[in-house]
Structure 1
Amino acid sequence: MTTGALIGYARTSTLDQKAGLEGQERDLRAAGCDRLFIEQVSSVDVKAREELAEALAFIRTGDTLVVTKLDRLARSVAHLLEILEVLTGKGAALRILNMGIDTSTPTGKLMLTVLGGVAEFEREIMLERQREGIAKAKAAGKYKGRKPTARAKTEDVLRLHREGVGGTEIAKRLKIGRASVYRILSESADDAKDGGGKEAAA
């Protein structure tokens, strides 16, 4: 076991309530953390995690980085391994409270390695199921993919155009590109010509 300082790190996403941070802070202090690094940032925005970077820079040999849950620390297995590499290089350890894992012990190191492998396996299974689901939907002719945002607003584009609103203003109001607006208007004009030609031919 390590005999250095216990350094706590707490994080919630930008969408979570402040109570989530307070709960983590309470648990970390109860675990005996001497110093806390706390932030509210998205799990996928690694570059914005300034407090995590500060915590890793602050830690010294013999210290332990403590988190309440694994998902508060790492966004992926690869990210977890990067953090562990930094800690190991400094002679520090990682403790995950809700899992009872402490990498300063051989058992803790083994458990974390196994958990990382399981997480990667589950992700691969999920992606495979997703691919199979899409393939089945395509085979049944039910998969249409995402509906293009601009296409979905065709009626609004045409309505605003009829009201005399310019292309740039239409794009701004509907939050779509000007090129999309002009493409919709052009296609609408072509359809009108084709329709008019057919009526004349009839």
Structure 2
Amino acid sequence: MTTMIGYLRVSTEEQASSGLGLDAQRQSIQRYADAHGWNVLWYVDEGVSAKSLARPQLQAALARLHVLPKSRDAGGIVVAKLDRLSRSVHDFSGILKLATARKWAVVAIDLGVDTSTPTGKLVANVMMSVAEWEREVIAERTSAAMQAAKRAGKHVGRVSVLPQATADRLLTLRASHTLTGTASKLNAEGLTTATGKPWSVNTVSKAQQRLSGPRAADVERGHR
């Protein structure tokens, strides 16, 4: 009998404690396994997002599969729905490539992806081709947009947006506090920078300049 890894995931602690989401996934996988004569080894990530593949039980499952075929005790990984494994087409494509290289199967029941069958392999290959095309198109568009922005003399790079409430509070504090005092106040109130980091003299100064434009220089000189 073939042994497969059944991977379950729920993204919130509430789902994990109720077991409802996990039970539905387990039942779906078990029905599929019974129909194919598979034994199932269960790996479960509870209260974990699928925004990346850095999940304890998923990594443990992949490590179990990432051995030579003769030493492997599982034939692949099966999920009830693709989004339990990954919400990123790029990440899923990477898993499929790894599975192909190491000769183990990937099964996503909801999409009919089952690389242990010829039809399932075809579906998986189409998905990988689409993912590759999507990456190339996005890269091409991004490059063209950046080049156009450079020609127009515009700033090219990551722009983080500061919440309006935080921006207003920063400007209010700067009217009567030094840069150091403003940073301390913002941090004490639990307000972070646009990238989620604590405030410093430097980040307060830069944020104020972006928010206030020419007026910032006058306030800067008066409240250092």
TM-score class normalised by the smaller sequence? 0.5 to 0.7
Q: What is the alpha-carbon distance in structure 2 between the residues aligned to residue 148 and residue 111 of structure 1?
A: 39
- For residue 75 of structure 2, the aligned residue among 63, 66, 81 is 63
| 4+ runs deviating over 6 angstroms | 130-140
Identity of aligned residues (%): 30
Report the equivalent of 2:121: 109
Secondary structure of 2:49's partner?
Answer: coil
Report the equivalent of 2:2: 4
**Residues 80, 108 of structure 2: 8 Å contact kept:** yes
Aligned length: 185
Q: Which has the larger radius of gyration?
A: 1
Secondary structure of 1:78's partner?
Answer: helix
Inter-CA distance 187–80: structure 2 relative to 1 (3 Å threshold): farther
Report the equivalent of 1:177: 200
Q: Deviations over 1:75-115 (max 9, x none)?
A: 421243124434x1xxx422221233322233332331122
Q: Displacement, 1:137?
A: 9.4
Q: What is the alpha-carbon distance in structure 1 between the residues aligned to residue 110 and residue 161 of structure 2?
A: 43
Secondary structure of 2:2's partner?
Answer: coil
TM-score, normalising length from structure 2?
Answer: 0.59
Q: What is the alpha-carbon distance in structure 2 between the residues aligned to residue 16 and residue 118 of structure 1?
A: 35
Report the equivalent of 1:36: 42
Q: What is the alpha-carbon distance in structure 1 between the residues aligned to residue 59 and residue 160 of structure 2?
A: 40
Answer yes or no: is 1:78 the counterpart of 2:94: yes
Inter-CA distance 104–9: structure 2 relative to 1 (3 Å threshold): same
Q: Displacement, 1:153?
A: 4.9
Q: What is the alpha-carbon distance in structure 1 between the residues aligned to residue 83 and residue 177 of structure 2?
A: 52
CA RMSD for the aligned pairs?
A: 4.2
**Residues 150, 180 of structure 1: 8 Å contact kept:** no
Inter-CA distance 27–162: structure 2 relative to 1 (3 Å threshold): same
Q: What is the alpha-carbon distance in structure 1 between the residues aligned to residue 14 and residue 133 of structure 2?
A: 28
Deviates more, 1:72-81 or 1:158-167: 158-167
Report the equivalent of 1:200: none
Q: Displacement, 1:26?
A: 2.1
Secondary structure of 1:149's partner?
Answer: coil
Q: What is the alpha-carbon distance in structure 2 between the residues aligned to residue 187 and residue 15 of structure 1?
A: 48
**Residues 12, 41 of structure 1: 8 Å contact kept:** yes
Q: What is the alpha-carbon distance in structure 2 between the residues aligned to residue 98 and residue 10 of structure 1?
A: 14
**Residues 5, 63 of structure 1: 8 Å contact kept:** yes
Please list every run of 5 or more consecutive structure 2 residues that lacks an aligned counterpart in the other structure.
34-38, 66-71, 193-198, 210-215
Please list every run of 5 or more consecutive structure 1 residues that lacks an aligned counterpart in the other structure.
193-202
